[in-house]
Structure 1
Amino acid sequence: MDEHDGTPMGLLIFGCQQRALRERAGLTQAELASRVNYSESHVRSVESGRRRPKPEYVRAVDEALGAQGLLKAAAEPIVQLKYPAWFIRYVEAEAEAVKLYTYDNNLVNGLLQTDDYAYAVFRAQVPALDDDEIEAGVQARLERQVLLTRKPAPTLGFVIEEWVLRRKIGGREVLKAQLDRLLEVGEMRNVSIQVMPMGCETHAALEGPLTLLETLEGRNLAYVEGQFGSAFVTEPKDYSVLEQRYGVLRAQALSPEDSATFIERLAGEL
């Protein structure tokens, strides 16, 4: 793992090998893209290590560049990666967290999702994923949930917008089971779940979802995610800003006890 941006070393090596072979063949990224029927931005992302190459892409590029199996061999350790390149660094930090706090305003956090809810989320992705990609994504997400019961137990806190708990992702029965799951997890001694009610006119995290975590080494870092990727926040000054926001956010949300009562009521309405 590259210590600067979290890009897996295997992706960087593959990207460098592809670029070297492409340049030896005298092709631009656009010309290679045309030969393999992918976009130029796709080729560029692979060469920079930002995109994990799929097997069909590897086969096409290996043939187009006359690599004689070199790229296929180089891709073997990375085509089976469970997560997008930009997410791997976060997953590794999450697995070792001793403290983790999140705020979510679009979906129930992946650590709390039921399998049916997770399937519905992956099926809604655009461009559409194939069945194998959906299955792999769901299973990888569910595997992360071992954090909830890991020993020694981490301290986990979740703040969730009320409208997330009302959106019937997957349908009424899927949502009801998801709310029941939140109630179940919320009873764990190391977990707190809080609802940010829609009646709260404003709050401290209007700029979007965030995650704060502390590693085994006592290092504090934050993680923020957007449409096309994510970013780690490691500078102490910037982390302090997000930590202050989260502290105020928790005070503005319903207490864990009141949140459980609220979630129970929502489940009863379904």
Structure 2
Amino acid sequence: MSVSDEAVRVGTETDQTDEPGWEVDPDDDWALAVVATVGRQLRLRREAAGMQVNDFAAAAGYGADLVYKIETGKRIPRPEYLDTADEVLNAGGLIAAMHEDVKKVRYPKKVRDLAQLEARAVEMGVYECSSIAGLLQTPAYARALFEVRQPPYPAEEVDRLVAARMARLSVFDRSPAPSLSFVLEEAILSRRVGGTMVRKQQFERLLEVGQLNNVSLQVMPMSSVAHPGMSGRIELLKFEDGTAVGRSDGAFNGRPTSDPRQLRILELRYGTIRAQALPPGETLALIEKLLGET
């Protein structure tokens, strides 16, 4: 970085587009490396074009402070920033091509890790007792859940979280398709998350997914007796090589486990839950009834 660039950085106020939600997680090594690489490429192309930070900022319509933060890997560039930089620097699409890498960086590390596991799984089982499982949610339903968190998320962070959750739905497009099993508490379906249209769309989504031949969707009725899932969520993922990973809010401190003995316990609990829940056919009939009443 030149002396003049440093002077611009010190003397410029933060750009108004420098909003919350685009910072890099300091504990996410992969994201840090990607953003640093993207920033370095942007700086090298700007310098090759003979432009100082001030020149580029003026041409692109961004504050010089934001340009500095992006080029030094302290901020994640927006897609439109990359498009503008590509045009201003005559990069011929090479900068705009970074969209996909930057998009992945926007997803929280724990979401990326979960998505990678789901992408490998040949079998998944999920029991939910507080909200509809993430893989079954519509964007509007997911947004309604994120918007009621306390303390509240910035609007930009809500967008980021919704996008990350929706990106996981690629699991339904895999071939060969994994075997997916979901059990939801009936009380979840009665809770008024979002407005009437949000609930209608969510019920329609459940009916659509529930009819896929690789999906088993069941509801645990309110009339059910006590069952092993009452202590919290359970998730089991099995992989082609015979390994597996599981997690339960009510076991092993809620941490993921690959220990065979602990996995057997989770499988026993999940199997008992499935046995007590409504069969898939009755589940779909119940959801159709709720849809008609919404």
TM-score (norm 1): 0.69
Amino acid at match of 2:234: L
State the distance in 2 between where 1:78 and 1:177 align.
30
Q: Which runs of 5+ in 1 are unaligned?
A: 1-45, 56-67
Q: How big is the shift at 1:145?
A: 0.6
Amino acid at match of 2:224: C
- Aligned 8 A contact 2:231 2:249 in 1: no
- 1:196-249: CA deviations, max 9, x gaps? 0010121121111011011232211103359xx962111100010000011111
The reply to whether residue 101 of structure 1 matches residue 125 of structure 2 is yes
State the distance in 2 between where 1:211 and 1:83 align.
21
What residue is the counterpart of 1:126 in the other structure?
150
Structure 1 or 2: more helix by fraction: 2
- Aligned 8 A contact 1:209 1:224 in 2: yes
**Aligned with 2:216: secondary structure?**
strand
Label 1:230 to 1:87 Cα distance change in 2 as closer, same or farther (>3 A).
Answer: farther
- Aligned 8 A contact 1:97 1:215 in 2: yes
Q: 2:268 aligns with which of 225, 241, 244?
A: 244
Larger Rg: 2
Q: How big is the shift at 1:90?
A: 2.2
- Aligned 8 A contact 2:248 2:266 in 1: no
**Aligned with 2:166: secondary structure?**
helix
Q: 1:179 aligns with which of 198, 203, 210?
A: 203
Bigger Cα displacement from structure 2, 123-132 vs 178-187 = 123-132
Amino acid at match of 1:153: A
RMSD, aligned α-carbons: 3.0
- 1:103-157: CA deviations, max 9, x gaps? 0011111111111111111111222112221111111111111111211100000
State the distance in 1 between where 2:102 and 2:203 align.
36
- Aligned 8 A contact 2:107 2:160 in 1: no
What residue is the counterpart of 2:229 in the other structure?
205
The reply to whether residue 266 of structure 1 matches residue 290 of structure 2 is yes
Map 1:141-180 → 2, pairs under 5 A: 141-180=165-204
- 1:67-109: CA deviations, max 9, x gaps? x98xx54886999734433443322111211100100011111
TM-score (norm 2): 0.64
**Aligned with 2:162: secondary structure?**
helix
Amino acid at match of 1:244: L
State the distance in 2 between where 1:107 and 1:121 align.
9
State the distance in 1 between where 2:212 and 2:285 align.
16
- Aligned 8 A contact 1:90 1:223 in 2: no
Q: 1:92 aligns with which of 97, 116, 129?
A: 116
Q: Which runs of 5+ in 2 are unaligned?
A: 1-24, 36-67, 77-100
Label 1:132 to 1:255 Cα distance change in 2 as closer, same or farther (>3 A).
Answer: same
State the distance in 2 between where 1:208 and 1:118 align.
20
What residue is the counterpart of 2:137 in the other structure?
113
State the distance in 2 between where 1:91 and 1:180 align.
24
Label 1:131 to 1:48 Cα distance change in 2 as closer, same or farther (>3 A).
Answer: closer
**Aligned with 1:246: secondary structure?**
helix
Label 1:80 to 1:99 Cα distance change in 2 as closer, same or farther (>3 A).
Answer: closer
Q: Percent identity?
A: 36
- The number of aligned residues is 209
Q: How big is the shift at 1:47?
A: 7.3
